[in-house]
Amino acid sequence: MMEFLNSLMPNLMENFPEFLKAIQETMIMLSVSGLVSFFFGTAFGVLLIVTRRGGILENKLIYGVFAKVIDFFRSIPFIILVAFIDPLTRMLAGTSIGVKGALVPLIVGTIPYFARQIESALAEVDHGLIEASQAMGSSPWEIITRVYLRESIPAIIRASTITLISLLGFITMVGSIGGGGIGDFAIRRGYNSFNHDITNASVIVLLIITVIIQGVGNYLIKKKTH
């Protein structure tokens, strides 16, 4: 078996320990930045939905400020964003390269995207349910947790799935400029060295991760849809 793999993918097998490390780095960046972005993105998404016009805590000033800041960061292409916030990355992480240096731009780039996804998901909640909760004397916090978030679970899962897959693309992109992970390995050991077996193997790994994310997301949506 090993002889077959060595003949089929000689360059990959020669760099196999580094390949495994690149996969590990990718999963670390995906899990850490995904988790942080989920919590902050959900918080900002809720803030947008409750302070918008007609929201349960309508506030034009707060909505306007947060909406503009979120849209500003969303409008910047990710590769430009990495360079734009480089001073912030160095200040917070102490470096702008490697996994540690990649986490800051990944989080900053993902939170605004996910916040808008959450806002859209929460906007799908039947307004009649919100009015009924208000009529029953529910507090804003109770409406957020028991109506908005509970009724939007399938839509939130769908948004999380889309965001994780997009985040995987960001991770690959940031790897091309020294961020580590599969992207860095594929460019440095594969593309730049004309080792097509390494490039192909990296693409296959990314495809497998994407399929797993989408499959788990679809399963959870099916389980939570009522």
- The pLDDT, as a whole number, for residue 8 is 62
Question: Is pLDDT above 80 for 176?
Answer: no
- The pLDDT, as a whole number, for residue 42 is 95
Averaged confidence pLDDT in the chain: 87
Q: What is the largest CA-CA distance in the chain?
A: 72
Query: What is the arithmetic mean of pLDDT over 125-141?
Result: 86
Question: Is pLDDT above 90 for 13?
Answer: no
How many C-alpha atoms does 109 have within 13 Å on its Cβ side? Answer: 29
Query: What is the arithmetic mean of pLDDT over 140-158?
Result: 90
Q: What is the 3-state secondary structure (H, E, C) of the chain?
A: CHHHHHHHCHHHHHCHHHHHHHHHHHHHHHHHHHHHHHHHHHHHHHHHHHHCCCCCCCCHHHHHHHHHHHHHHHHCCHHHHHHHCHHHHHHHHCCCCHHHHHHHHHHHHHHHHHHHHHHHHHHCCCHHHHHHHHHCCCCHHHHHHHHHHHHCHHHHHHHHHHHHHHHHHHHHHHHHHHHCHHHHHHHHHHHCCCCHHHHHHHHHHHHHHHHHHHHHHHHHHHHHCC
Query: What is the arithmetic mean of pLDDT over 82-93?
Result: 87
Fold of 19-224: MetI-like fold (1.10.3720)
What are the residue boundaries of the structural domains of the chain, listed by start? 19-224
Question: Is pLDDT above 60 for 226?
Answer: no
Q: Which residue has the higher pLDDT, 9 or 197?
A: 197
Question: Is pLDDT above 80 for 48?
Answer: yes
Question: Is pLDDT above 60 for 10?
Answer: yes
Query: What is the arithmetic mean of pLDDT over 133-153?
Result: 88
